[in-house]
Amino acid sequence: MRTARVGDLEIGHEPVLVATARAESVEGMTRGVECALAAGADCVELRIDSLPTAEDVARLIRGTTAPHIVACRTPRFGGSFSGSEAERIERLEAAATAGAEAIDIEFFTDPALRDRLIALVRKLGTPVMVGYENMQETPPSGTLLRGLQDVAALAPDLIKLAVRATSHADLVTVLQTVLDARSFLDVPFAAIALGPHGAASRPLACALGSSFTYCAVEAGAVPGQLTVSETREILKMVSEQRWPCSSS
């Protein structure tokens, strides 16, 4: 598997833990970044959904020195951006032009806009992550694998799979998809089952071969999302094969 560099952070070796900063002002976002780093995150997702203007986005990017991935999501993908799709892409383009260290775009974005953004990001030499996401359900593993193959055909630097788990069977589907996807994905990827039933997917997917995952800064902040420290501790237990119920 190839690695990807986000700022001074190389993704593709040890699991990377990402925490999210979201706020309605640059100052609030900056505080969110500080909290994420204080919690032990390796990288920060900058959710620019609610920043007032593209100028605010550029100011945030120029002032953020931590490794970061920039995303802007509409309600369809769990975000709050209320503008048009063209405006959303323009906002991500402003982030890339201002020096963002990585840009995140959903596979199901209008192809013309998606491909325009990817072309600009590549021209700037910035890593691009493409996400295959379903906020309503977990499709069958075969559907997920075909979707990941479609994403891989775009040759992104990072890939993310995120689906909604409504049962523990959905959790198993995601973990099986991780095992199967390792045979054809050659870039770092994350696989996440959203919601309380999917909480275990975040550390376990990393144990099975995904390269990064998303964590909460504070317990209970996002349903089904473990904190950075919880995720790191579970990964440590799994890697050392030390289970709480072990008698040895």
Least confident of 49-63, 81-95, 165-179, 233-247: 233-247
pLDDT category, 241, cuts 50, 70, 90?
Answer: low
- Render pLDDT for 55-95 as a digit per residue (tens, 0 to 9): 999 999 999 999 999 999 999 999 999 999 999 999 999 99
pTM for this model (two decimals): 0.93
pLDDT tier at 224, thresholds 50, 70, 90:
confident
Instruction: Quick: pLDDT tens for 183-196.
Output: 999 999 999 999 99
Question: At 53, which amino acid appears?
Answer: T
Alpha-carbon separation of residue 105 from 47, 91, 132, 181 (angstroms): 12, 12, 9, 20
Q: What would the DSSP string read from start to end of 48-69?
A: -TT-S-HHHHHHHHHH--S-EE
CA–CA dist 196, 147 (Å, integer): 24
Q: Which domains does the chain have, with CATH numbers?
A: 11-218 (3.20.20.70)
Q: Which two tokens stand for residue 248?
A: 């040895």
**Burial of 32 by CB count in 10 Å (0-12 exposed, 13-18 middle, 19+ buried)?**
buried
pLDDT surpassing 90 at residue 181: yes
pLDDT confidence tier of residue 47, bands split at 50, 70 and 90:
very high
Buried b (16+ CB within 10 A) or exposed e, 141-175: beebbebbeebbeeebbbbbbbbbbbeeebbebbb
Give percent of the chain with pLDDT exceeding 70: 96
Predicted pLDDT of residue 247: 42
Position 240 scores a pLDDT of 66
Q: Is the pLDDT of residue 243 over 60?
A: no
Residue in 141, 194, 185, 144 with CA at minimum distance from that of residue 166: 194
